[in-house]
Structure 1
Amino acid sequence: MASPTCSQDGVQHTFLQWVPYFLSSSYETNLQHDCCLLGVDLSTSCSVNFFSNNTVDSYGNVTRGHFEANPDIAGYGVWASLGTALFVNIVAILFVAREWTYSLQGKKAKSLPTTNKNIIKGHHSSLTQKGKDTAKGFYSFLKSWTKELFRVTIDAQLVLAFSYALNFGLESKCSLSAYHYNFAVDTIILSLSCVTLSVYVLDDFWRSRWIGCLRTLASIIIFAFLCRYLYYQTERNTSPELMLLPVSDRSDSSLLLPMACFLDPDLDPFVSLTSEQNNAIGGPGPKITPACVFCYLLAIGYVVAHLEKFWYRNKPNHRQNTTLTTVFVVFCSVPCFVSYAHITILRDWVDKSGWMEVANGGGSPEKEIRSIGQIMPLATIFWILAISLDAGKLARKNMGS
């Protein structure tokens, strides 16, 4: 196939020139030109061809049963591994429930995992001294394990978010479908919700200054670029279908088009379609997506969590307020659960649509755990559990010595 003829109207920026330009209000991508230089003709890829009955014949050159899978982004292994972020949020919710239980019973509540030794005291009860010591030791272990679970998970989620951002920026911006793009964005939102919650929960987040600085710098970079890119999407004339709720009455969607079609101002796949054809592929989605709202809210929450740390870091007797902790846990958990539900709905719909290419085994390649991109996230689950359990045991041993 001959390469498309590219115009010479693209402006080239060095990395140091591109960063301030990207963050400025005048930023505008020219993916059509950039992708043309890479041999990808977006003017063809962004067209939707219909049969006479208004069902889709092809998206560009992609026909039914030949939509390219991307297991490293939306594979079953990646989807399953994201459960660690959900688990962290569930653990936080359980600790909040425990606090409210003690509070409602008129007992002194322990704060959501903390290292303040002055609050590690047993409650008045009918337990024997041995029973109290056992309960105290178990809680000390559980608290230490939870802290390390948060700490290790935050690192894993930051690495995942960084890898997705780099993959899109360096390799797949011309070929990544809107479905895989939305999956990746939801994954990053899921990661950022876990990161923000961890900053608030961990009272010794700055236990190691250089690691704390590295985590904070990585988080700020991810927040800045994701929020800016999502805001850039709101400035475009069109966007792909959102599909927040399951859709079972049709098998066509604008999500199967390349995401580049919705990011370049010169490309709009809906312009040449009739209203019936627009409806057949779900129509344009909303300009302001839940992911965009979540990104900015989590960024604010991230700053607030750090301010709370610096404000109270010289107050060793400070205990986190139960009500505020509950609000913050809910605040971080909603984006996490909504994003995970969304990617689950998207995976299920694409799998049943009939557009996905078929693997040698007869199923979707995104359901087969073979690539390193799926195996590594699954291995991370066991790595997180092993390290957090080991650290929890060590912390309990140190407390007992």
Structure 2
Amino acid sequence: MYEELVRQRDAISITNHRTSSHLCKIDVYVPPSIVVPIREQVITLYQHNIHARGFENVTLPRMFVLERHYMDVQHSTMWFILKNFVLDFITDDCARKKILLAHNPRLTEVAWEDDKKLHYHFDISINEIDIAKDWKMFPFKTPKRKLYKDLDKQVETFIERESSLYKQQKQDFLDDNDWVCFSATMLNNNHKPLNNVIPCLFWMKLTTKYLVSSFQKGFIGRKKGDKFVLNHLPLDESLQEAVTEYNPFLIEIISISKGNFFSLDIFKNLFRLKNRLDVHRKLIEVFSYRNDISQRKSIIEEVFHIFLSKNRFEVPKHLVLRKQEEILLALKKIPDYYVYRSQPQFEEHVAFLAERQLKEELIIDKIAHDENITIDCDDVNGYLHLYNLDRLKEFVHFKPTLDIVEDSHVPLHDSTLRQVTLREKTLNHVIYLLTK
């Protein structure tokens, strides 16, 4: 079901052409079969939800809406299709064509054609690099673990306790702290699916400990495979769009990633572990620390040190600047931001971090393409399983932009998690080959 929904995006067409060594232009065409039903539903929403003098307690005439709110209708339609179809489609298409994205696509223009077709124009930054073909033979010495016997006892206790508690959960039912993958299909006012409109895929963390949104309440007590209707889709609190605020959506639960306890089977599959001893050794990586750095982080640092020393390349300055902006936005959410900001050479440290992150991403993306590594729903489930547990989060190196997974009450687009999951799976693939 998950892979089928991803493939349905092929109804949209895309063309791309290089304009320079670091820039590619992408044109996305959305056909009338998708645009017209959504635009008509947007018009209907405005008819029922806009208040106008002289039309109290009645549905606004269609012509009145088109005359007074034409640009609003166009914008709402364009925005909904962009956010829920086009951006995901570009990510998938670039992955299939092995185009290495150095940054998120930048929308440069949107053009309507006869109110029935949409053309989106993007610039994407690319940075093609070469990786030594013999990288699998790089000499690699795994950083040593601490030899305290207490660490082994901690790991064994962790495995026994967490595995037992995990098995006591109902695997197909949603609980607090679980992640849920669901499809959302736009409905008309009679709660019937719009013709030819592709379901959108999202992931969301269910949290009921504190304030629960009305949208999340609709998921409480649900199980995998359930279908139900919710009256809005909260994608971004800063964008109060007519489509997501007032339109009903058919929700179907595709997959559930349990979020409270450690799963031995998921962990073994993620890291290609054969037995209990392998699991023990792998878990030691996040229990053993030297100078406040875990063995896992030391391994990752050593991997990238080797790759960067044997594969030297430069990253264009404009890409570094954009990455710096992302890092600064993330830092501003931290309570101690102004303490960090006051430190000497703060900007130099941010610039160094931005360049380092870009180089790591480019190396991993290149290897993923060369090795033909792909992901499925189980991979995303595994990624979220690690990220959701404080003890296992140390295994996760690549995270979504701005750590938006922490803002769990807002559903995340599937492509956001697919990209970081692919990078994480590729990194684990590299470590596995270098250390086996």
**TM-score normalised by the shorter chain: which range applies?**
under 0.3
Whose strand proportion is higher, 1 or 2?
2
Query: What TM-score comes out, normalization by structure 2 length?
Result: 0.23
Query: What TM-score comes out, normalization by structure 1 length?
Result: 0.25
- Between 1 and 2, higher relative CO (CA 8 Å, sep ≥ 6) is seen in 1
Whose helix proportion is higher, 1 or 2?
1
